[in-house]
Amino acid sequence: MTPAKCLKYFGQKELTEYEKVEILDFPQVYYFGEGAKKVKAVPEPEKNQVPTTGEQEDYNFGFDDSKGNYRINIKDHIAFRYEIVSFLGKGSFGVAVKCYDHKNKEEVALKIIKNKKKYYYQAGVELKIL
């Protein structure tokens, strides 16, 4: 469905305030995480601010932990297309999750690279190899 249709029918009950803005960047919505426990997006902490809650400090609007790993929420969506089914593992570069691709109707594994600048380059190199 279109983002506008998703907002109209599900915006009040199923989408967070963050998702209501984010959804407009996507041409199609295949899955939006109906019934999932969603991250309540929070403002990014200041760079010089000392975290007060240790490892649970919110980063990337609450989607990442303090180490840059994406916080996995089963049944939530990735890019309004993939449904997170289960956690597969964690490594030095990030996390892997089992997902259902609602566009192509198949199970896939997604590797989510840590949200740290030093890993972006290495992820690009790995993509070229694959």
pLDDT band at 117 (very low <50, low <70, confident <90, very high): confident
Of 28-32, 52-56, 96-100, 106-110, the one with minimum mean pLDDT is 52-56
Supply the pTM of this predicted model: 0.78
CATH topology for 3-129 is: Phosphorylase Kinase; domain 1 (3.30.200)
* Cα distance between residue 125 and residue 50, in whole Å: 33
Select from 109, 102, 69 the least CA-distant residue to 83. 102
**Per-residue pLDDT at 40:** 77
Indicate whether 77 pLDDT > 90: yes
Query: Residues 48-63: what's their mean pLDDT?
Result: 57
6 vs 70: which has the higher pLDDT:
6
Indicate whether 8 pLDDT > 70: yes
Q: What DSSP assignment string belongs to 85-107?
A: EEEEEE-SSEEEEEEEETTTTEE
Which residues, other chains included, contact 40 with Cβ-Cβ below 8 Å and sequence gap of 6+?
16, 62
